[in-house]
Amino acid sequence: MALKPQPDTRMEAVQTAVAAAEAAMAEAATARAELGQARVVLQAATEQMENAAARAEAAEARVEAATDNLPRRRPGTKYKDDWPLVMAAEMIRLALRDPEMLKNIDALVRFMVGPEGFLQKEIGWAPQDPKDVRRMIASLLQFVR
């Protein structure tokens, strides 16, 4: 047994170190390949995010352009509770029942605005100034005459 050649421990250590270095180099190459793939995926995700942001900005611009072109309300008296519309409907009903009633604007104003007037009964509110009602009646009657 003593005559058997003894293994060189230095050589085994070098071989082990070389094998470990080769394994580390192979692992580094794999990591570099994974890094390259991750960069490609990151680039694609960044481009997709930029495209989505551009589409969102374009959509917001279209919405803003669409809302800027909405028709503006005409200047003038802004009515409470749409009383002119309610009054117009009542005038149509009156015209169907007795067309002669539309010839006396003063009587129509009293009917609409009086203390127990139509607007007070119907919507619980009537304009303070009967001139507003008179103007509205006259403008509605211009289509009849």
Contact 83, 125 (CB under 8 A): yes
pTM of the complete model: 0.44
**Residues of the chain below pLDDT 50:** none
- Same domain? For 33 and 64 the reply is yes
pLDDT in the model for residue 31: 95
In order of 13, 87, 100, 101, the CA distances from 90 in angstroms are 109, 5, 15, 12
pLDDT digits (tens, 9 = 90+) for 66-76: 766 656 666 66
Number of domains present in the structure of the chain: 2
Q: What is the pLDDT of residue 49?
A: 95
Average pLDDT, the chain: 84
| pLDDT score, position 144 | 72
Query: Which residue range is the domain that position 98 belongs to?
Result: 83-141
Residues 65 and 89 in one domain: no
Give CA–CA dist 98/80, Å, rounded. Answer: 28
Model pLDDT, residue 57: 93
Q: Are residue 33 and residue 60 in the same domain, yes or no?
A: yes
Q: Are residues 91 and 122 in the same domain?
A: yes
Instruction: Give domain status of residue 78, yes or no.
Output: no
Angle between helices 105-113 and 130-141 (to 10 degrees): 130
Q: What is the pLDDT of residue 76?
A: 64
